Amino acid sequence: MMSDLVSPFKAFLKQHGYQLTSERVEIAQVVSQQRRIFTTEELMAQLKEGGYRQSRGTVYSTVRLLAEAGLIVQLPQSSEAHYLTSEQASLYAVCRCRCCGAEVLYRQPRRLKALRHTTMHRYRLAQPLLIFYGLCQRCERETAKTNNKKSATQSSGLQKATSNR
């Protein structure tokens, strides 16, 4: 099911006195088709591939307005701003690698629904976004290699020290 961001975005622009332009509508249409985490730069590349010609400033300001309208969610603590549609944020959890920052969407709707239902009674949720932090497989392998090299170096140093006695 693809969300329609255009209608609520038009209403938001009108309600807040922003100008409704064809460029903003085109950007909202492309954003509504997103099924993964995206950056503004990736969005600009998709717009260009689709034959749209918006300026960098228009894309950035429209993304800001979409976030202000609550139609997309900016992921916290990203080195570069990463976004997710609000619909995706309510269906998925984000798994983020603490080492390289890679992000993956993880879908478990029943668990997320139960968690959100529980927290709604105790909190007023501002952003329905769940983020898990850990290590991706690549970084976990690299960490294991580094730890193995350190252990080997330490144990060979220990052997040299005991043989010199």
Per-residue pLDDT, averaged over 64-69, amounts to 96
pLDDT of residue 1: 40
Confidence band for 75, pLDDT divided at 50, 70 and 90? confident
Residue 99 annotated as lining a ligand binding site:
no
What digits encode the pLDDT tens for the residues 112-150? 677 767 666 777 666 667 788 899 999 999 888 887 766
Strand 38-39 vs strand 82-85: parallel, antiparallel, or unpaired? antiparallel
> What amino acid occupies position 154?
Q
Per-residue pLDDT, averaged over 82-93, amounts to 84
Residue 100 annotated as lining a ligand binding site:
yes
pLDDT of residue 105: 82
pLDDT of residue 119: 66
CA dihedral 34, 38, 42, 47 (to 10 degrees): 30
Residue 97 annotated as lining a ligand binding site:
yes
Confidence band for 101, pLDDT divided at 50, 70 and 90? confident
Per-residue pLDDT, averaged over 90-102, amounts to 85
What digits encode the pLDDT tens for the residues 24-63? 999 999 999 998 889 999 999 999 999 998 899 999 999 9
| Number of C-beta neighbours around residue 14 at 10 A | 11
Work out whether the CA dihedral 36, 37, 41, 47 comes out positive or negative: positive
pLDDT of residue 147: 77
User: What percent of the residues of the chain are helix, what percent strand, and what percent coil, each to the nearest 5?
Assistant: 55, 15, 30
Domains of the chain in sequence order: 1-85 (1.10.10.10), 91-149 (3.30.1490)
On the question of pLDDT at 83 being above 50, the answer is yes
Taking alpha carbons only, the member of 62, 97, 61 closest to residue 78 is 97
Rounded CA-CA distance 72/97 in Å is 22
Q: Locate 133 and state its tokens.
A: 């932090």
